[in-house]
Amino acid sequence: MDNKPKGLTLLDGLSALGLLAATLMVFFYAPVEAVMGPVQKVFYYHVAAGWVGMLSFLFAAFSGGIYLKRGDMKWDRLSVAGVELGLVFSLINVITGAIWARPIWNTWWTWDPRLTTVAIMLLVYAAYLMLRAGIDEAEKRARFGAVYAIVGFISVPLTFFSIRLSRTIHPVVIGSSDPEALGKFNMTGPMSATFVVSLIVFTILFFDLLWHRYRLAKFAHQIEIARSADSAIEGE
């Protein structure tokens, strides 16, 4: 087993400092939104987590495609790491969204296109993990996982459009349009700065965690090889 790379240690520190800075900015630098009050501050984490969730799933589908082309297990490990991180960040996105929606929309959940799409996306990737769990052969597991990661990722925008054809109440803060969206607000300078910082910090955190998860998968593989070599010796 190799030692922890210096770059990873650096990334760990950067993520920790960044998270601290982003949190301080959210609480002390960004102003309290006039209509919604302090609960609006959940926005900075909510959107950042949602963005990283989508990034992870895109990354997983992309790595899956490269795995199918090259057959290098490295890409399969990256793909799994992407899916697992995507599930975690999307869940953070859903939970923070519900905390915000309770006072603003007066409900934890509505069947709005974005909410519904994220919920279905979580189910797609839960199914991905179940598919992988059902296959013992590592190489076959990698191939099937890659195919399903691609199929699943393509279905997500289709799901969104199919539900979008009905109306939505989810606010679009960036590049917005619908004046009827509930809980919409305009960002001031400090708000935008805080938002951009939390987006960048969450993205750094994503790459940090991705690296850790990748190393974990590599070690698990090495242990598996060592173990099978062990049992082969015992069997003789």
- Nearest-angstrom CA–CA distance, 40 and 132: 39
Closest approach, Cβ 42 to another protein, in A, equals 27
Nearest distance from C-beta of residue 66 to another protein, angstroms: 13
**Alpha-carbon separation of residue 174 from 9, 52, 147, 186 (angstroms):** 34, 16, 33, 9
Shortest spacing between CB 10 and another protein, in angstroms: 37
CA angle, 96 as apex, 125 and 194 as ends, to 5°?
Answer: 110
Minimum distance, C-beta of residue 151 to another protein, in the bound complex (Å): 6
The rounded distance, in Å, linking the Cα atoms of 90 and 48 is: 10
Comparison of 89 and 148: residue with beta carbon closer to another protein: 148
**Between 14 and 120, whose beta carbon lies closer to another protein?**
120
Choice between 136 and 236, CB closer to another protein: 136
Structure tokens at 172: 């679009």
In 3-state terms, what secondary structure has residue 4? coil
Judged by the rule CB under 8 A, the positions of this chain that interact with another protein are 68, 120-121, 123-124, 127, 130-131, 133-136, 140, 143-144, 146-148, 150-152, 154-155, 158-159, 161-163, 165
Sign of CA dihedral 42, 44, 47, 53: negative
Instruction: Please give the sequence-ordered ranges of beta strands (E in DSSP) within the chain, or none if there are none.
Output: none
In angstroms, give the least distance from the CB of 135 to another protein. 5
For another protein, give the closer residue by CB, 122 or 199.
122
Give least dist CB 145 to another protein, A: 10
For residue 54, the one-letter residue type is M
Nearer to another protein, 95 or 150 (CB): 150
Cβ nearer to another protein, comparing 45 with 148? 148
Under a CB-based contact definition with an 8 Å cutoff, are residues 27 and 227 in contact?
no
Alpha-carbon separation of residue 143 from 72, 87, 156, 206, 209 (angstroms)? 11, 20, 20, 24, 23
Between 29 and 144, name the residue whose CB sits nearer to another protein. Answer: 144
| In the complex, least distance from residue 160 CB atom to another protein, rounded to whole angstroms | 8
Q: Are 85 and 209 in contact, with CB atoms under 8 Å apart? A: yes
